[in-house]
Amino acid sequence: MFQQFNLFPHYTVLKNVTDAPLIVQKRERGEVRELALSLLEKMGLADKADAYPCQLSGGQQQRVAIARALALRPDILFFDEPTSALDPELTGEVLKVIRDLAEEKMTMVIVTHEMAFARAVSDRVIFVDGGVIVEQGDPEQVLGDPAQERTRRFLRSYQT
């Protein structure tokens, strides 16, 4: 998932979700449609299947983007600051979806500044600075009692 949602503005929500599995993976239309509707239900967007992206909030657009990615049945989902363009209420909607995916044991790599969220849903945290891994490990260790001064400095600046 990107910071921008990258939805096709001239496609409905449903077509945005079904297009790649149909075209790229050449899967059966009925199966893909059924999966897409199920994913939209899971995202709380079942009533938006015929809407266009411009008719959705930022949080709804991000959840459509997540459904679109899940429709491809990936082994891993990558999120790059999935809440950066969202207000606090919409951020909560998206974080709930990601939290639900974590509970379902979906493997995810998430770039985020949402430290409390990272601590709550992560099995492992990696702190990167300038493209270099500074520290990695259990979320409670890295975020609660970091071994590296650079990590401690970042967390102090984040808390102020």
Task: Give residue limits of the domains in the chain.
Answer: 13-122
- pLDDT of residue 72 exceeding 90, the answer is yes
Kindly report the CATH class assigned to 13-122. alpha beta
Quick one: pLDDT at residue 1? 44
CA dist 136 and 122 (Å) reads 12
- Supply the angle between the helices 88-103 and 58-71 in degrees, to the nearest 10: 20
Give the C-alpha separation, 35 to 133, whole Å: 38
How far apart (Å, rounded) are the C-alpha atoms in residues 59 and 4?
11
Q: In this structure, what token pair is assigned to residue 44?
A: 């709380």
Mean predicted confidence (pLDDT) in 118-125: 91
Helix or strand run (H / E) with residue 80: strand 76-80
Q: What is the pLDDT of residue 2?
A: 44
| Helix residue ranges per DSSP H, the chain | 13-23, 29-42, 58-71, 88-103, 115-121, 139, 149-159
Q: Take residue 123 and report the two structure tokens written for it.
A: 């099995």
Summarised one tens digit per residue, pLDDT across range 16-67 is: 999 999 999 999 999 999 999 999 999 999 999 999 999 999 889 989 999 9
Residue 4 is predicted with a pLDDT of 54
Q: What DSSP state is assigned to residue 144? A: I
Q: Residue 40: what residue type? A: L
> Cα dist. 60→52, 107, 108, 142, 145 in Å?
11, 22, 20, 32, 36
Distance CA 62, CA 94 (A): 7
Going by the DSSP 8-state scheme, the letter that residue 49 receives in this structure is: T
Checking if the pLDDT of 160 tops 60, the result is: no
User: What is the pTM assigned to this prediction?
Assistant: 0.83
